[in-house]
């Protein structure tokens, strides 16, 4: 687990981009011994121009100015205790933020930043917080409905780091964190998934969302090609 930052420490990241109406995302990089891993922050605008910040990344001032022009940060979602790296720095910058994490990750997240709730009231019927079944409530997800379709925001249960290169890429493959297509990473299956049947049922339930347009994952490329079929295949892989 990456050491949490108490201060606003900007690491390499790309541009904050609008993915859909009211949805922003930015990809950053974390360098570890032998490997560099992509990570993504997703920002969802609620009614009243309030923002849900998912898996927070400390951005440079230009990025933060763009984010603040989009709305007011209101909720900071730590989708699992493995994604608390910049949570304390965000809370220090925006003291009014409500910190959200799934119940199974509450204790470890609270070691870094005070947790306000495990069942947030977004006051927006188009944005749903989900504690993912089969993970002992250690992982969260968001279902975001927009006029053009639904976006599913996932954390570690699905990875989509494709075609990694070099020794680092080989190592990511050996660790089960990368491959030729979206997958349930082996490391995640060992550490987080406690009931494969329950998780598979949830993946199949999401696959039945008729207007599912994309899946945003914390690590790897956004999935926009046949996302419902991707979820079905992932569910089958757990069998």
Domains (ranges, CATH) in the chain? Answer: 17-237 (3.60.15.10)
Asked if the model's pLDDT at residue 139 lies above 60, the reply is yes
Return all residues near 136 (Cβ < 8 A) that are at least 6 apart: 104, 194
Whole-number pLDDT of residue 33: 75
221 or 33, which is more confident: 221
Averaged pLDDT, 46-73:
98
**Is residue 105 over pLDDT 90?**
yes
3-state helix, strand, coil in the chain (%, to 5): 30, 30, 45
Predicted TM-score (pTM) of this structure: 0.95
Q: Is residue 198 within 8 Å of 137, Cβ to Cβ?
A: no
Are the C-beta atoms of 83 and 219 separated by less than 8 Å?
no
**Radius of gyration over every alpha carbon of the chain, rounded to an integer in angstroms:** 17
More confident residue, 141 or 5: 141
Q: What is the mean pLDDT of residues 30-37?
A: 80
Rounded CA-CA distance 17/171 in Å is: 29
């Amino acid at each position: 687990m990456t050491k949490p930052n108490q201060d606003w420490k900007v690491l390499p990241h790309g541009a904050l981009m609008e993915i859909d109406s009211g949805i922003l995302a930015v990809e950053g990089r974390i360098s570890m011994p032998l490997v560099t891993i992509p990570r993504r922050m997703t920002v969802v605008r609620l009614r009243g121009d309030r923002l849900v910040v998912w898996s927070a990344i400390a951005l440079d001032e230009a990025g933060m100015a763009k984010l603040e022009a989009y709305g007011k940060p209101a909720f900071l979602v730590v989708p699992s205790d493995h994604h608390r790296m910049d949570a304390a720095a965000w809370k220090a910058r925006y003291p009014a933020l409500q910190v959200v994490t799934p119940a199974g990750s509450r204790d470890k997240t609270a070691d870094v930043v005070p947790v306000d709730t495990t069942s947030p009231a977004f006051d927006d019927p188009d944005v749903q917080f989900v504690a993912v079944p089969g993970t002992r409530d250690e992982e969260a997800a968001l279902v975001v409905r927009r006029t053009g379709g639904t976006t599913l925001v996932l954390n570690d249960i699905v990875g989509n780091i494709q075609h990694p290169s070099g020794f680092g890429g080989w190592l990511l493959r050996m660790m089960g964190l990368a491959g030729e297509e979206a997958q349930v990473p082996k490391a995640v299956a060992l550490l987080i998934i406690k009931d494969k049947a329950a998780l598979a049922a949830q993946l199949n339930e999401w696959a039945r969302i008729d207007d599912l347009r994309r899946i945003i994952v914390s690590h790897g490329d956004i999935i926009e090609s046949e996302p419902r079929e991707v979820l079905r295949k992932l569910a089958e892989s757990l069998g």
